[in-house]
Amino acid sequence: MKNNKTIDELKIEVESCSRCKLSTTRKKIVFGEGSSTPSIMFIGEGPGKNEDLQGRPFIGRSGELLTRIIVNGMGISRDEVFITNIVKCRPTVDMKMIKDRAPDPSELKACTPFLLEQLEILKPKVIVTLGSPATKFILKTTIGITKMRGIWGEYMGIPVMPTFHPSYVLRNGGDKSPLKKNVWEDIKKVMILLNMEIPE
Ligand code: SF4
């Protein structure tokens, strides 16, 4: 079905959402941000503490790593891509709002229609899924990210490149981790597909 909404109209709709229990603990909804005609859409798991406070995706430590990959690695700005998550409010383990967790099935069921609408409206040329939950949802698989990363998949005709979530890279050695090299290898595949110049 054709979606006649604009991305701004969808954002207004999402901003008053109380479809799931995460609406009771969030500070701000994190709709996502970036180009309205993105070549690449990055999809992560869910907002963390900083994102929840500021209402913007990927602005904490893992966001810094993703931004470096986009800006220093790919040579483009964050404004040229679209960055979002499979759920738009922060999933936490308890009401103390200390630890993050993956979204549960009921939260995914309630929120992912918004992500599908974002994809329908924005029509990215390539999707990059960051981590297992986003990869499992977009590619309808139960296989974890370690086996899926670096292998092209497809969502509604759009090529999908799964790679590790930046926070997983940071938890496992950060800049020195071989996982970061893995992410860069995956990103280079995306750049090749989009005919982007790869730095030496
Ligand atoms: Fe609504 Fe999604 Fe937030 Fe749940 S996580 S309240 S479905 S916007």
Tokens of 183: 């992410």
Structural domains of the chain ordered from first start? 29-192 (3.40.470.10)
pTM tops 0.85, yes or no = yes
What's the pLDDT tens digit per position in 93-130?
Answer: 765 667 888 999 999 999 999 999 999 999 999 999 99
CB-defined site of ligand 1, < 6 Å? 14, 17-20, 22-23, 29, 87-89, 107, 110-111
Tokens of 127: 């999707």
Q: Do the beta carbons of residue 50 and residue 58 sit within 8 Å?
A: no
How remote is the CA of residue 55 from the centroid of ligand 1, in Å? 13
What's the pLDDT tens digit per position in 42-89?
Answer: 999 999 999 999 999 999 999 999 999 999 999 999 999 999 999 999
How remote is the CA of residue 132 from the centroid of ligand 1, in Å? 20
- If one counts every other C-beta atom within 10 angstroms of the C-beta of residue 71, the result is 13
Q: Strand 82-85 to strand 33-34: parallel, antiparallel, or no bridges (unpaired)?
A: antiparallel
CA nearest to 148, candidates 188, 108, 182: 182
d(CA 91, CA 2): 31
